[in-house]
Amino acid sequence: MERFHTLPGLELKEDILRHIQKKRDGYYFMNRPDGSCVMLDPDGLCRIQRNSSEEMLCITCRKFPRLAGRVRGDYWMSMAASCPVTAGYLWTKSVGWYMTDGETKQKIHWRELPYEKERREGLERFMDFLEKRSAAASLSMEERVPFLWKLYHCMYHLMDGCLEILSSSPELHYLQGSFDYFEKDYGAAEIISHMMAFQEEYGEKLQQFTGNYILYRVYSRCLEFPDESGEDGLFLTLGELFLFYLLRFGRYQTMQKNDQASIVAEINWMYRFCAHSKKRSGQFLSLLRDIFKNLEYLAEIIIKIS
């Protein structure tokens, strides 16, 4: 705030100060209804950096979307999925890693990452299961209908809980169309038909994204929360994926949003909801445990969806 008050350009200074709100624990830039910062121009670039310098930015903006920190003596780096470029990469490409000692650099497989034992075992068990089979494709029609009906009810309960969490998070705006589908009075047969159509449209793409996101997110959670239990980390990672499925399904059905920009917006919003607040992250974990009871149950659903 001291730097902003000393800006020589009156127009930029007034622009910045007009879009900052003071709360009990500090100052915050306002968000637009879609969750983006009000200081972003229509081309997505920051007006502060565009009209001054990176040094003028606050720490959060200066480091975004980079995530960095020490994990058991090593320096780890990743990227936040609230960044549109990162989200687009996760949706369209494959996650990869490299290791460097400052002089030489080499690509490494995710199984070579130096996770602690519990986190590694949980990740390897789930990824091996995901790679071996797509359980949803092997379901008979008799099995598929009750599964999709159960899936719908899990989505409904998660939507209801997320709206309650959202009501206590004034800094995070509702993403248009996210939960509207669940407020409509559809019959059971119509819901099953919608869910089958969605799975046929997105099943293959969701399988790729699921593997991508799990490998990315378990790594970034280990970086951000190195003392977190492996089960909590995987539970939250799978819960974030489930929330994204819900957003994609809801907006696909009610708004016919099918372009990459819409999908990226959903990944961005999901990540901001789940990862940008410790309080919300804790509330979200409690909600997941209430709906899914245990990690194995949620993992089974994720595998069958994808």
- By percentage, how much of the chain surpasses pLDDT 90? 58
Place of tokens 């780096």: 77
Burial class of residue 109 (count of CB atoms within 10 Å of its CB; 0-12, 13-18, 19+): exposed
Domain count, the chain: 2
Percent composition of the chain: helix, strand, coil (DSSP 3-state, to 5): 65, 10, 25
| Whether residue 49 is found in the same domain as residue 126 | no
Question: Is 108 domain-assigned?
Answer: no
Place of tokens 């190195």: 226
Question: Is 146 domain-assigned?
Answer: yes
Burial class of residue 239 (count of CB atoms within 10 Å of its CB; 0-12, 13-18, 19+): buried
| Whether residue 33 is found in the same domain as residue 146 | no
7 close to 16: Cβ distance less than 8 angstroms = yes
What pLDDT score was predicted for residue 34? 66
| Whether residue 128 is found in the same domain as residue 232 | yes
Note the pLDDT tens digit of each residue in 192-222.
999 999 988 998 899 899 999 999 999 999 9
For residue 277, what is the DSSP state? -
Q: Look at the chain and count its residues.
A: 306
- Where is pLDDT greater, at 159 or 24? 159
Of 25, 46, 63, the residue at which a domain comes to its end is 63
Q: Identify the domain containing residue 300 by its residue range.
A: 117-305
Note the pLDDT tens digit of each residue in 136-166.
456 777 888 999 999 999 999 999 999 999 9
Q: What angle do CA 46, 50, 54 make, to 5 degrees?
A: 85
Q: What angle do CA 79, 219, 261 make, to 5 degrees?
A: 40
**Exposure string (b/e) for 62-95, b if CB count within 10 Å is 16 or more?**
eebeebeeebeeeebebbbbbbbebbbbbbeeeb
| Whether residue 289 is found in the same domain as residue 169 | yes
Note the pLDDT tens digit of each residue in 88-103.
999 999 999 999 988 8
Asked whether the predicted pLDDT for residue 253 surpasses 70, the reply is yes
Band the pLDDT of 135: cuts 50, 70, 90: very low
| Whether residue 215 is found in the same domain as residue 290 | yes
Handedness of CA 178, 291, 119, 72 (dihedral sign): positive
Average pLDDT of the segment spanning 273-278: 90
Q: How far apart (Å, rounded) are the C-alpha atoms in residues 156 and 221?
A: 27
What pLDDT score was predicted for residue 102? 85
Note the pLDDT tens digit of each residue in 35-65.
678 898 887 788 998 888 888 888 888 888 8
